[in-house]
Amino acid sequence: MPSLAQPPDTFLRPPDNSPSPRNLLLTASFGHLIPNSLLSHFLPLNALNVHPSLLPRRRGAAPIQWGIVSGDADGLKDGEGMGVTVQELSRGRFDRGRILAQQDVADFLTLEPLLARAGGDLLVSTLRSFASRTERAWTQDDTRATLAPKLSKADARADWSVRSADEVVRMQRGFGHQIQLRISSVALPSPFSSPSPGIVAPDPSAPKRLLLQCREGCVELVEVKKEGGKWVGATEWWNGVRRGRANLAFV
């Protein structure tokens, strides 16, 4: 089967001017809306996209990150975990097409390559049974849809007075590649007698362990990165900035 791979901003029409069962359009991790002028050259279910979520959940540009932060990686209910979808490329809108196949597959750096590999395998499997897949393609249920918009710096900012330790751990797993703190992967109960959200202080029972107080519970600081600087161990950072103060507050 001849292929025509193009750069993201380049849209070339296939050699055939009319839709043909022989032509397939395949996309993955493609953040551009494909124009109808191109899609019109393909039969509806011959233009496919691999999306790293179980659609209709997490429609949008950042499904892995938002899925982790929202707890999808915990996979508590069927259809609400992490996974990949092979979908029809919908006209004029992102992530609204009929679904040909889905597969269930929990930090971003671990899940991204895992979902990419699973998505590729699922696409190959879909193409091998293409006729039966197109016959069974199902329409997405808009009432179950959730969004995964493009990330901003504000999304990665934690308000300690609002976020529990469990929520902060999920933020670290989902947005950690954008945050200048590295924390433990487990939320901890607060050992402080008068906890104040945002306070950083040594654990009274283990002074070498540095804790960050959240609205509920604590997380352990592992590493800290200053703007434009390098990652340093939390204890080393603490010794350099406390200057006799008993504790510090993150804002």
**CATH number of the CATH domain containing 235:** 3.10.25.10
With a pLDDT cut of 90, the percent of the chain lying above it is 34
**Distance separating alpha carbons of residues 77 and 31, to the nearest angstrom:** 29
Q: Tell me, yes or no, whether 137 and 29 share the same domain.
A: yes
Tell me the whole-structure pTM to 2 decimals: 0.66
CA 207, distance to chain mean position in Å, is 35
- Is residue 184 within 8 A of residue 220, CB to CB? The reply is yes
Structural domain contains residue 158? yes
Residue 210: the pLDDT is 87
Do residues 86 and 188 both lie within one domain?
no
pLDDT at 5 over 80: no
β-strand pairing of 231-233 with 248-249? unpaired
Cα–Cα separations (whole angstroms), residue 160 to 38, 107, 140, 169, 184: 48, 21, 37, 12, 16
- Cβ–Cβ < 8 Å for 222, 183: yes
d(CA 197, CA 230): 26
Half-sphere exposure of 251 (CA within 13 A, CB side): 0
Better pLDDT: 82 or 51: 51
Q: Is residue 20 part of a domain?
A: no
Tell me the sheet residues that pair with 75: none
Q: What is the CATH number of the domain that holds 102?
A: 3.40.50.170
Pick from 24-33, 127-136, 162-171, 233-242: least confident:
233-242
What is the domain range of residue 38? 25-144
User: Does 75 have pLDDT greater than 80?
Assistant: no
Within a domain: residue 59? yes
Over residues 25-45, the mean pLDDT reads 89
If you average pLDDT over every residue of the chain, what do you get?
83
Which region among 41-55, 105-119, 132-146 has the lowest average model confidence (pLDDT)? 105-119
